[in-house]
Structure 1
């Protein structure tokens, strides 16, 4: 069997994410991916078992990284306030997606389609997402940082705000005149969600919303 480096494997994954995102899964052939990545066609079958396996790899690796961000925020609950954990989570999730723009858009689009793969993902990954977010909200309510609320509804609203710009980047570009790949987006949009958390969830009404000066500063980690 032919062996290649992990760098070559990632080149194939990046090429597939770009082509799936721009041409659609059905409109992309294994040969297209091999040519885009500059590798031998056989390597795709060797590493991923074909185009379907490559899609599964892209989705699972993206979601595993996303869940690690949520898990890190959840683990910090004993050290930091629930509010800080949630605000940090928002920044890290936006940064994570922006750095993986093509894969992020691909994954969010594929999850909107009812397939066997998506059902499996719902069971293995998105149920964990729900657990972490509800745990953080519940801890904040218990500690009297957050207002009593319907945690499931807040979770759906929050994840919708986090993912919408990457699922519909053309909407953000046409209506708000900037791209989700811009530094400006990372700064402004993160601040908007921070303000929403402060105003919607926090019991302390004296919390100062994110200032215009803070909006001009890069998000942590950029």
Structure 2
């Protein structure tokens, strides 16, 4: 693993465990076993590391959204496949998701740009899904609201419960089934 990769891995782990604000450059450097100047060299500082971790989160979210919205045949199938795909992706990339989800609530200009990108691209994927499946919105702004609602439901466990359900193999199945059922009954009611 290169120094750059070690720094990113250390920062991701520390930001996920303690939060961005609670972690300093020295802690990241110690965890990565590098000189703190290397962080500035590779990332321009702690803020650059935050951007890099969040960028990875954005790409994971957009990849899952694009794939699932691109292949689902109907709303019920979409809820099931997307719910399971997001939960699987989040478990494989737990620390990136923890940092990304926490970051969504921060008020920074570069984050707003990335949030707008997520919103714009997922709304486009939802629009394509609706057109492809012959559905129409029942209420204005449904396309814009669906993604936020789905993400909020799926990841409320990380944000409110520290991932107790998502990180437990036995509880995950029940958690996934519960969330997917709620989505399957609620989401189809938004489009006809």
Contact 2:10 2:28 in 1 (8 A): yes
Partner of 2:158: 166
Partner of 1:44: 39
Structure 1: state its 5+ residue gaps: 173-177, 204-222
Structure 2: state its 5+ residue gaps: none
Over the residues paired in the alignment, what is the CA RMSD in angstroms? Answer: 2.6
Structure with bigger gyration radius? 1
Q: Displaced runs of 4+ in structure 1, greater than 6 A?
A: none
Contact 1:64 1:125 in 2 (8 A): no
1:5-44 equivalence runs, <5 A: 5=2, 8-44=3-39
Structure 2 counterpart SS, 1:112: coil
Cα distance, 1:131 vs. partner? 2.5
Q: 2-side partners of 1:201 and 1:57: how far apart?
A: 32
Distance 1:201 1:33, change over 3 A: closer
Q: Is 1:110 aligned with 2:99?
A: no
Cα distance, 1:121 vs. partner? 1.0
Contact 1:21 1:105 in 2 (8 A): yes
Contact 1:82 1:136 in 2 (8 A): no
Distance 1:11 1:168, change over 3 A: farther
Q: 1-side partners of 2:172 and 2:4: how far apart?
A: 29
Partner of 1:200: 186
Contact 2:80 2:184 in 1 (8 A): no
How many residues are aligned here?
186
Partner of residue 168 from structure 2, selected from 168, 177, 182:
182
Once the two structures are superposed, residues 80-136 of structure 1 have per-residue CA deviations (whole angstroms, 9 ceiling, x without a partner) of 445324421211111111222222122111211221122111222232123223443
TM-score (norm 1): 0.71
TM-score (norm 2): 0.81
Distance 1:88 1:9, change over 3 A: farther
Distance 1:198 1:126, change over 3 A: closer
Contact 1:95 1:186 in 2 (8 A): no
Cα distance, 1:191 vs. partner? 1.0
Q: 2-side partners of 1:114 and 1:31: how far apart?
A: 25
Partner of 1:60: 55
Which structure has more relative contact order (CA 8 Å, sep 6+)? It is 2
